[in-house]
Amino acid sequence: MGLYQNRIVVKVGTSTLTNEVGKTDLRAVDRLVCVLSDIQNMGYEVILVSSGAIAVGSNKLNFKSKPTSMRMKQAAAAVGQCSIMFLYDKFFGDYDKTIAQILLNAEDIEQEEKKENLTNTFNALLEMGIIPVVNENDSVSYTEIESEERLFGDNDMLSSVVAVLCKAKRLVILSDINGLYDSDPRLYPNANLISKIDKIDESVYSLAGGAGSRRGTGGMKTKLQAASLATSNGIDTIITNGKNPEDIYKIINGKSIGTLFTGIQ
């Protein structure tokens, strides 16, 4: 079976969901939810992959800084996941949408039986017009929090894996940057945005810098890895700025936004 032409996976990171002082950016959440609800009304099947559990949980627990011990990170994730889903349920509910929560671990993807069941669950939800909200199960998955080379990398790779599982036509990764540049725009004001890439090779990876924003954990490298997996399965992948969720309208209409990595046919 080929890709579902009307199926889109949107990944949003911690840096988009929180403001500069680390609090939840309610206006940003509302704008994103409004756009996703609207494009579903246009006939698209929408899957949202959302980071932010540890950051939101740390905020709710009034931590002065991001926790460093494993048990406190997982405790923050458990609290934060409740808060994130409460917010999404409220905002999506305002637009008359029903959501579902799916929490994943690496082994859920690696075991064939679990992967098949997971795919069936996604398809059942989408057939009923429900928007799945996906996150990694940080409260029990210690390997992803601990490892420097995390499999899901602030959910960039997770969103790509979900897009492949669900045979989505498009994967949109919302970041704190407009896309991939020929040099780091935070260091070089004259850096140029690359609008389209047909092949992700070592020369492309060399353009990726280090980690992302101080609130998120994923950098451009993890986004390129995600794009590589998705495009190798024929899925068009777009990296663009999460502060402009209305750009998703332009993306589904085929306009040039951010950096497009074309799916290999």
β-partners of residue 24 are: 18
pLDDT digits (tens, 9 = 90+) for 217-229: 447 888 999 999 9
Q: At residue 52, what is the residue type?
A: G
For the segment 238-257, the average pLDDT, to the nearest whole number, is 96
Is residue 54 a contact partner of residue 77, using CB atoms and an 8 Å limit?
Answer: yes
Which range has the worst mean pLDDT, 43-57, 130-144, 179-193? 130-144
**pLDDT over 70 (residue 22):** yes
Which fold does the domain 4-261 belong to in CATH?
Carbamate kinase (3.40.1160)
**Low-confidence winner among 41-50, 55-64, 88-97, 242-251 (lowest mean pLDDT):** 55-64
Read off the pLDDT band of 19 (50, 70, 90).
confident
Please tell me the distance from the alpha carbon of residue 50 to that of residue 40, in angstroms, as a whole number: 17
Residues 97-131 pLDDT 10s: 999 999 987 778 888 898 999 999 999 999 999 99
